[in-house]
Structure 1
């Protein structure tokens, strides 16, 4: 690897979520970040770049494979043809590393501590701290889903942030812990009408991602609610299914 290639790789990392360069190892550049725990080991090829990730969460590689399948090789290695492609891969990996489980929880706890610290001591209390936790958590959860779904509805693909809602499959109040509450796989980014229906268990999804409608909705209701045949999730990860099963059981009780 020549000095120019190394510089270009380091800049691509710095500009796309991997702002630190660890000690050089042979012909590879190892990129890291203070904002997440994933590392990327990048090697310059005769044409393009080889990237190996040391992921902070097991869910990262399957999600990258979904988005960058043409560049994926064996054992989670990605071979990207251009510097722009390298930047896109690193940017998505960095975003997902902050949104997917574990890192989101760590960020949440830090944000809650900071928010509570800003409250005057005389105003603090159990209820105030509960409200702070909920407000911060819901904002973090929304950010995680916006990142995971690329800023677009998980069903319709609509990408207008003002009408998108972060919908929990297993509601916030019924989650066992913060890891469940903040898990990007515990729900979907949905346009407002679908969010309202999903939240009230009037729609759900099967394990293939096909939309299910409750018998409480008449066929004549569906067009006005923005529901039509053939609606499906844009994709469904295996990690979604546990939460989706919980939601579907509640949905079936009311169906």
Structure 2
């Protein structure tokens, strides 16, 4: 690897979620990491493009990353499948997606959330910080923010159904409602919900819409043809993808729709 290639890879990492060059990079590779998430990657220049692989990650991250970059997988290299990326833009996209997933997947959102809660409580007067009600309100406010960010990261900033990529029109929808979750880890689980456009969120949140285990959208009978047209919906819509870890939460959500779902 020459100095220019080294500089290009380092800059791509710095700009896309891997701001640190790690020591002891394998020969011919550049190892990158971040203080914001646990993932580490190695990249080398190859045939006018780049070869990249995950060398450290949470469970599930390699599979999620392969979902978005399946056409670039080039067999095994070192510790797992490598991705042959044809350009610097392709490398940047791969790094950005890897970093986003690393920040969204369990339990990274929970780690960040705990730190935010401690910082927020430390800024309050001691008497207020000790109040159970204040602590509950702080945890809920920050938790909702953390969950939304995890949804944006996981779904790439686009609706899980329509692909609409307008953050102002997107909502982080819980499958198992915040109040019904037993723990904060369950509330912040990136698989406990979907990033949905506001119209779909309203239906999903009120139990007028749900998804089956294949990701197909089902609507309550009261959502008639004229309402579908007005909402901009159509039969046959489905989730862009569905992970097995979504299914237990979806089963819970469908149980709440038992009054209309066959």
Same-fold call, TM cutoff 0.5: yes
Q: CA deviation at 1:223?
A: 3.2
CA contact (8 A) 1:112 1:132 kept: yes
The size of the alignment, in residue pairs, is 255
Structure-2 separation of matches of 1:54 and 1:176: 34
Matched with 1:60 is: 61
132-141 vs 214-223, greater mean Cα deviation: 214-223
State which of 70, 81, 88 in structure 1 corresponds to 2:86.
81
Q: 1:4-43 residue pairs with structure 2 within 5 A?
A: 4-23=4-23, 24-43=25-44
Q: TM-score of the superposition, structure 1-length normalised?
A: 0.93
1:163 aligns with 2:163: no
Q: Gapped runs of 5+ residues in structure 1?
A: none
Q: CA deviation at 1:220?
A: 5.1
Matched with 2:135 is: 129
User: 1:179 aligns to what SS in structure 2?
Assistant: helix
Structure-1 separation of matches of 2:157 and 2:224: 31
Matched with 2:112 is: 107
1:71 aligns with 2:76: no
User: 1:106 aligns to what SS in structure 2?
Assistant: helix
Matched with 2:2 is: 2
CA contact (8 A) 1:36 1:56 kept: no
Structure-2 separation of matches of 1:52 and 1:157: 27
Alpha-carbon displacement from aligned partner over 1:206-238 (angstroms, at most 9, x marks no partner): 111111112454555443444421111122122
Structure-2 separation of matches of 1:227 and 1:2: 52
Matched with 2:248 is: 242
CA contact (8 A) 1:39 1:55 kept: yes
Q: CA deviation at 1:97?
A: 0.7
113-122 vs 103-112, greater mean Cα deviation: 113-122
Structure-1 separation of matches of 2:147 and 2:88: 32
Structure-1 separation of matches of 2:197 and 2:251: 21
Structure-2 separation of matches of 1:42 and 1:101: 25
Matched with 2:209 is: 203
Q: TM-score of the superposition, structure 2-length normalised?
A: 0.91
Alpha-carbon displacement from aligned partner over 1:6-40 (angstroms, at most 9, x marks no partner): 22211211111111111133211110000000000
Q: Gapped runs of 5+ residues in structure 2?
A: none
Structure-1 separation of matches of 2:146 and 2:70: 28
CA contact (8 A) 1:164 1:190 kept: yes
CA contact (8 A) 2:97 2:156 kept: no
Q: CA deviation at 1:88?
A: 1.2
